[in-house]
Amino acid sequence: MDDEEAIARSRDGDLSAYEVLVARYSALAHRTAFLLGAGDEAEDVVQEAFVKAFRHLSGFRQDAPFRPWLLRIVANETHNLTRSRGRRTSLVLRLGATADTRAPDDPEGAAVATDRRSRLLAAVRGLPERERQAVVCRYFLQLSEAETAQVLDWPVGTVKSSTHRGLARLREEVGDELA
């Protein structure tokens, strides 16, 4: 069942069709909430986002893609969470999906890779919030500029400039050594 059919059936009250959407997008929504600052509360954010999405399916434009619409809700819920708790949750990125091409019996290479990853993540955490959000969406979540604009509810030009500034800061911070 594709998204269009699942949405249409969900609008008609078919909960099993909505379960298809939840199953399809849960991991991405969870990763988005986590990367945007929800931290340990990402599961709560995702659950609330799916509830809100279900309640507002009637207002969803049928010709629009579901993924950016849902991720925008996740981003808004994450923003509400971080704003309400009055502090920024530390950003811990799970890069387990990144394949390490070194041999498993190369402890030195593994240590160097872990150190590089830690330093890069620390630099990303140190970015101003808007730049961090743009960089996370574009490069960690691999969203297009248009999808990032939808998720963050920003103009595309703001996504471009925030991403550019964020990458420039990262280059200054980590230099070419992590490139």
pLDDT of residue 93: 39
Q: Please answer whether residues 159 and 134 qualify as being in contact, where contact means their C-beta atoms are separated by less than 8 angstroms.
A: yes
Residue 145 structure tokens = 């500029």
Cβ atoms of 150 and 140 within 8 Å: the answer is no
pTM, two decimals, is 0.61
The ranges assigned to domains in the chain are 3-85, 107-178
Q: What is the DSSP letter of 56?
A: T
Tens-digit pLDDT profile for residues 51-76 = 999 999 999 988 889 999 999 999 99
**CB-based burial, 33-55: b 16+ in 10 Å, e otherwise:** bbbbbbbebbeebbbbbbeebee
Q: What is the CATH number of domain 107-178?
A: 1.10.10.10
Length of the chain measured in residues? 179
Q: Return the CATH number of the domain spanning residue range 3-85.
A: 1.10.1740.10
d(CA 22, CA 19): 5
**Gap between the Cα atoms of 118 and 33, Å rounded:** 20
98-152 confidence digits (pLDDT tens): 444 445 567 777 777 777 778 888 888 889 989 999 998 898 888 899 999 998 9
Contact yes or no for 31/43 (Cβ under 8 A) = no
